Homo-oligomer: A and B are copies of this chain.
Amino acid sequence: MPHARNLKIGVVGATGMVGAELLRCLEDRRFPVSELLAFSSGAAKKAVRFQGRSVPAPAVDLKALASCDLVFFVSADEVSEEFAPRLAAAGVWVIDDSAAFRLTASVPLVIPEVNAGALSRNSRLIAGPNCTMTGLAVAGSLLHERFKCVAARVASYQAVSGAGRAALEEFFSQSRHHARQHKLEDGRAPIMSLPAHRVLPAPISGNVIPQVGGFDALGNTSEENKVAAELKKIWDAPKLSASVTAVRVPVSRGHSLAAWLEFARPVSVAQARAALKKTPGLVFSENGSYPTPLSAGGKHPVYAGRLRQGAHARELCLWIVSDNLLKGAALNSVQIAEELLRRGWLKRA
């Protein structure tokens, strides 16, 4: 890492699931942390482990955060809204994984492999994208650059961890409930009961739920709208038409996408394969093998496979998988920080 220097780093939401991954990424990637200030935004446990030590994680303290070189927000939108702009205005670099500022015109929304060029020394507040669109934005980036994507239809298969710790615990509890019904009687496939649910909008064990977030007046969910709007911003494709169906599936980690990408220019499967093999951040599987959430869980790259022609000659089908807590959240935030380091921008004001 060129220009590495020891930095004072703040993490807001350190006790959450993405927070846990973020601390692990900072350790594993040897990000030069001289001091870590961890903050809890909710009623979670009040300490985290970092570099073998227990670090207290009290409630957010703006003054302490203002002493940092860089602060990561991996917490709720409202927490970022309250604190992130003030810190940035005070000269602190802020990498915000919430949805609060992603669509704000003056805030760069960045996946380093895709649009590091959007970073600017004048924008100390930087947003990381929605976990569901990240895989698509990475996998399709070079295709879009070469052939210009004009429409995207995307069906998602989203892991429960994307809905947070309480949702994951609900999934595990329902799984134990269903395990008792896991037998064939008179040779029939069991009709599973509907276990209780409180966190997700329907039971998730043994089920799929076509709702991630709340509904708007047109019947789209907030997740579907995020994917569409953020893809346009990251690809700088304001006229792209993106239609998304976001579905939760009983998977612990790893969001998968079945995507149809329609291009302005003709694109053969062979041309697409060549582009996918050169796409930064992407591991491409030739037909015959393919990634799954279980194979991609805990890994850093975006994976894609099942490349085929779509509904016509200017359209491609692609299957994309990435770890929603890593490339979809924590890892991408750390990669943005690494890019700032690389540019020599991360020093005390």
Instruction: Among B184, B242, B243, B309, point to the contact of A315 (Cβ < 8 A).
Output: B243
User: How far apart are the CA atoms of A19 and B190 in the complex, in Å?
Assistant: 14
- Tell me if A49 is interfacial: C-beta within 8 Å of chain B: yes
Set of chain B residues within 8 Å of A179, measured between Cβ atoms: 172, 175-176, 179
Interface pair A175/B182, CB less than 8 Å apart: yes
Interface pair A294/B189, CB less than 8 Å apart: no
Q: Given A292-B202, A311-B242, verify A176-B182 contact (CB < 8 Å).
A: yes
Q: Which of A102-110, A230-238, A251-259 contacts B (4 or more CB under 8 A)?
A: A251-259
- Tell me if A206 is interfacial: C-beta within 8 Å of chain B: yes
User: How far apart are the CA atoms of A247 and B157 in the complex, in Å?
Assistant: 10
Interface pair A292/B210, CB less than 8 Å apart: yes
Q: Given A249-B157, A312-B241, verify A183-B189 contact (CB < 8 Å).
A: no
Chain B's closest residue to A243 (CB) is B311
- Tell me if A290 is interfacial: C-beta within 8 Å of chain B: yes
Interface pair B189/A253, CB less than 8 Å apart: yes
Q: Given A157-B249, A311-B242, verify A15-B187 contact (CB < 8 Å).
A: yes
Q: How many copies of this chain sit in the oligomeric assembly?
A: 2
Chain B's closest residue to A169 (CB) is B184
- Tell me if A165 is interfacial: C-beta within 8 Å of chain B: yes
| Chain A residues bordering chain B, tally (CB within 8 A) | 85
Interface residues of A in 296-349 (CB under 8 A from B): 297-298, 305-312, 315, 317, 319, 325
Query: Given contacts A206-B250, A210-B258, A249-B249, could you give 16 more A-B pairs where the C-beta distance is less than 8 Å?
Result: A48-B187, A153-B260, A153-B311, A155-B155, A155-B258, A157-B247, A168-B184, A202-B292, A206-B252, A206-B293, A210-B319, A241-B311, A241-B312, A242-B311, A243-B310, A249-B250
A/B interface sample: 21 pairs, CB < 8 A: A20-B186, A152-B311, A172-B179, A172-B183, A175-B178, A175-B179, A176-B179, A176-B182, A189-B325, A190-B253, A191-B253, A191-B298, A194-B295, A203-B294, A206-B294, A207-B251, A210-B290, A218-B309, A219-B306, A243-B317, A247-B256
Return the 7 tightest CB-CB contacts between A and B, nearest first.
A155-B155, A191-B298, A161-B189, A172-B182, A155-B258, A219-B287, A245-B258
